[in-house]
Amino acid sequence: MDTPPVSDPVAQYQQALALHEAGRLDEAAVAYRAMLAQFPGNPLLIAGLGTIALQQGELDEGVRQLEAAFAEICRRQRARTTPASFGL
């Protein structure tokens, strides 16, 4: 995919995902990492890297990345959950 860098994060993610789905795993990983530099801790990007690691046979790294993505999702959910969100 020889396209110039995209400044729109949604378009950047779609481009990374398209590379991933096309089996261009190394290029997709580069794209996910570039986005992580802009959006540290983004669980979608971390999960993408974890999935690529699994696809490349790097099981320990893949599991580590997917666990990190899940932990980040949980952390973000806890940050949004307050007593007021339960009507207390």
Domain presence at residue 52: yes
Mean pLDDT of 23-51: 97
Domain presence at residue 87: no
Residue 75: give the domain boundaries: 9-81
Domain presence at residue 1: no
Domain presence at residue 3: no
Helices 9-21, 25-38: crossing angle, 10 deg rounding: 160
Global confidence as pTM = 0.81
pLDDT grade for 86, boundaries at 50, 70 and 90: low
CATH number of domain containing 18:
1.25.40.10
* Six token digits for residue 81: 């959950």
Could you give the number of structural domains in the chain? 1
Give the Cβ contact number of residue 60 at 10 Å.
9
* Six token digits for residue 85: 């969100």
